[in-house]
């Protein structure tokens, strides 16, 4: 805390002659954590009509002989059908549903 306060003060002192003074001052005083809005999108392929096209990676048959497809998440990791997971920011949960990523 003290180090960031000192660095902010040094930055403010160095920029006294510039127009960035108020910007540095607001960064120094403000917290910047209020009214934050997070948005997300599922990593799916959509055709020209807006329909979701399931991914066909790692196709396999289940016990009943149905074809099961896995998903590839935004980081490129293969997720198995039915797997629930989070992305790095940890704000949303996702689920692979037979080749389609859904937001839980």
Domain count, the chain: 2
Range(s) of the domain holding residue 10:
1-36
What is the pLDDT at residue 47?
92
E strands in the chain? 45-46, 52-53, 57-61, 67-72, 78-79, 84-86, 93-97, 100-103
> Are both 53 and 93 inside the same structural domain?
yes
Q: Are residues 32 and 67 in the same domain?
A: no
Do 61 and 92 fall into the same domain? Answer: yes
The pLDDT, as a whole number, for residue 9 is 44
Whether residues 62 and 89 fall in one domain: yes
Q: Are 85 and 54 within one domain? A: yes
Reading the chain (104 residues) residue by residue, the pLDDT tens digits are 554 544 444 444 443 433 333 344 444 455 655 667 888 889 999 999 989 999 987 899 989 999 999 999 999 999 999 999 999 888 899 999 999 999 98
Residues 49 and 99 occupy one common structural domain: yes
């Amino acid at each position: 805390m003290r180090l960031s306060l000192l660095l902010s003060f040094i930055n403010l002192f160095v920029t006294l002659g510039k127009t960035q003074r108020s910007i540095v001052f607001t960064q120094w005083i403000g917290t910047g954590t209020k009214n934050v809005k997070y948005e997300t999108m599922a990593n799916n392929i959509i055709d020209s009509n807006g329909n979701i096209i399931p991914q066909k990676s790692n196709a396999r048959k289940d016990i009943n002989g149905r074809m099961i497809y896995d998903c590839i998440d935004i980081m490129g990791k293969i997720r198995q059908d039915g797997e629930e997971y989070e992305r790095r920011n940890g704000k949303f949960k996702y689920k692979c549903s037979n080749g389609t990523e859904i937001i839980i």
